[in-house]
Amino acid sequence: MRKLIIILTLFVTFLNSVNAETVKSVSKDYKVLTKDNFTISATLKYPKVNNKKEFKTVVLLHSLGYTSQWWGTLPDELLAKGYAVVFIDLRGHGNSVYNSQLVRTSWTSLKDKAYAKYPDDVISAIEYIKSENKRIFFKDWAIVGSDIGGSTAIYVANKIQYKPKTIVLLSPLVKIKSLYIPVKLAELNNIDILSIVGATDFKAKQTNEYLKKFAQSTYVEYESTANSNCMLLIKNDEAVSKIITEWVAEYLK
C-alpha cells in the first residue's frame, strides 16, 4: 500500500514536470554467444561521472516484435538518476538475429522452444557484461520488461543467483509463446512488482487481476492515460518513463 500511495503521488507531481535532460554517458556494445551458438546483442550505458566506480543497474527487455531502441525517454530518465542501463535485443530481434555461422533468424520464424531460451539468453548477457565491467553493480538492480520482455524478466528473476530488487511490467501477459508466468511469479519472494497498463488495454487489466493471486509480495497496478499498450505507453504518455524511474529509485537507494 505504501508503494501505491507513492506511485500515485508521483503521477500527479510529474504531470507538471519537465523531461530529463540528456545526460553525458559512456556506451559499450557487446556480442554474447549462447550455449546453442546464437549471438545476443546488448548495450551498456552509464553516466559519465568522474571518480564514480560503481553504478546500480537497470536491465530493459523489450516487447515482441520491437527492439532495444524503442525505449523512448526512459533510458535518459534512468541515466539522469545515476543508474547504468543495459539494453538487450531478445533473440530474433534487432541485432540478435545471427548464429555463429551468420545464419539470420527473425523472431517471426522462431519456434516455441527458441522463445523458451529467452531467460537463459538474458542471464548469459548479464553475466558477460557483469564480468567485463567493474563499474556496474548487480547487487542492487532492477528489470523493466514489456509483454514478452516482462515474462522473460519473471523467469530471469527466478533463475539468476543475485535477485533484482524490483520488476516493472508493461502490459503483462499470463502466457506468451512458451513463457507462462503465474507459477514462476508464485516462486518469487520479496520482489515487489509494478504493472503498467494502458487505459483501453482490457486484456492486460484482466491479466493483472489474475497475476495478483500468485504474487508473493507487493503487486501494484498503474493505469496510464494512453490508449496504447506495451512500449507504446512510453511513447504516448510521457509520465510513464518518470513513474518507472521513480519506482525503481525507491528500491535502488
User: In this predicted model, what pLDDT tens digit does every residue of 67-103 receive, in sequence order?
Assistant: 999 999 999 999 999 999 999 999 999 999 998 889 9
- What pLDDT is stored for residue 2 in this prediction? 44
Average pLDDT, the chain: 91
> Would you say 44 and 72 are in contact if contact means Cβ atoms under 8 Å apart?
no
Name the DSSP class of 149: H
Burial-class residue 113 by CB neighbours within 10 Å (0-12, 13-18, 19+). Answer: exposed
Using DSSP, state whether 143 is helix, strand or coil: strand
Grid cell, residue 8, equals 500515485
Q: Which domains does the chain have, with CATH numbers?
A: 2-251 (3.40.50.1820)
> Would you say 222 and 194 are in contact if contact means Cβ atoms under 8 Å apart?
yes
Report the amino acid identity of residue 218: T
Closest by CA to 153, choosing from 197, 123, 128, is 123
Residues whose CB falls within 8 Å of the CB of residue 147, separated by 6 or more in sequence, listed in order:
63, 64, 170, 171, 172, 173, 176, 229, 230
How much of the chain, in percent, has pLDDT values that exceed 90?
A: 83
- What pLDDT is stored for residue 20 in this prediction? 52
176-190 pLDDT, tens digit each: 999 999 999 999 999
- What pLDDT is stored for residue 5 in this prediction? 42
How far apart CA 28 and CA 191 sit, in angstroms, is 29
How far apart CA 88 and CA 93 sit, in angstroms, is 10
Backbone angles phi, psi at 13, to 5 degrees: -65, -45
- What pLDDT is stored for residue 21 in this prediction? 59
CB atoms within 10 A of CB 123: 17
Grid cell, residue 139, equals 547487487
How far apart CA 221 and CA 214 sit, in angstroms, is 14
Beta strands in 54-165 (DSSP E): 55-61, 84-88, 98-99, 136-146
Give me the residues of the chain with pLDDT under 50, please.
1-2, 5-6, 12, 14-19
